[in-house]
Amino acid sequence: MISIGPGDGALTLRTGVAGRASRTGHSLTIGFDAWRADIAFDGDTPVSVALRVDVDSLQVLSGEGGLTPMTGPERLVARANALKSLKSSAFPEIVFRAGGVSASGDGYRLSGDLTICGVTEPHTVDVAVDGSTVSGQSAVTQTAFGIKPYSLMMGALKVADEVVVTLEASVTVS
């Protein structure tokens, strides 16, 4: 088994904006400072993956778009709103467990369960392997996990329901 975390790469989440006033909002790039993926192998073949993310480690890295550039204090407000939407005090971890790993193209397809805010749903992620670099991205629909996307102005500006999670890491298999 090997483990990877923030020292090996980045786990990020990208949001979009929706609603009639979407031009005024920022699309966010959010990073997580505390996460760990444990990958179990049978010989050289991965057979399971378990990813745990500490929700409180969420940091708003940037905000693109909007009427004005996003400021530091606005990033802090966005972080607080994201933690509230994710109910981080009640559900401090996001967990993905893939017991099904199959070869797919230039990498693997991970099939398992994703748990966010105490709700577990089946989820599949395709990861590419290029030398020692593993990368993948997956769309997640917030409402499928009981998350109400943050909104302002009676819903005229809101975070898009679908967010995209991206992982890129260096993995050394010994």
52-106 pLDDT, tens digit each: 999 999 999 999 998 889 999 999 999 999 999 999 999 999 999 999 999 998 9
d(CA 98, CA 138): 14
Percentage of the chain lying above the pLDDT 90 cut: 74
For the chain, the average pLDDT equals 92
Burial class (CB in 10 A: 0-12, 13-18, 19+), 98: buried
Sheet architecture: strand order including 17-18: 17-18, 157-159, 151-152
d(CA 82, CA 15): 11
pLDDT tens digit string along 129-142?
988 899 999 999 99
pLDDT on residue 152: 78
d(CA 32, CA 120): 20
pLDDT on residue 163: 96
* pTM strictly above 0.75: yes
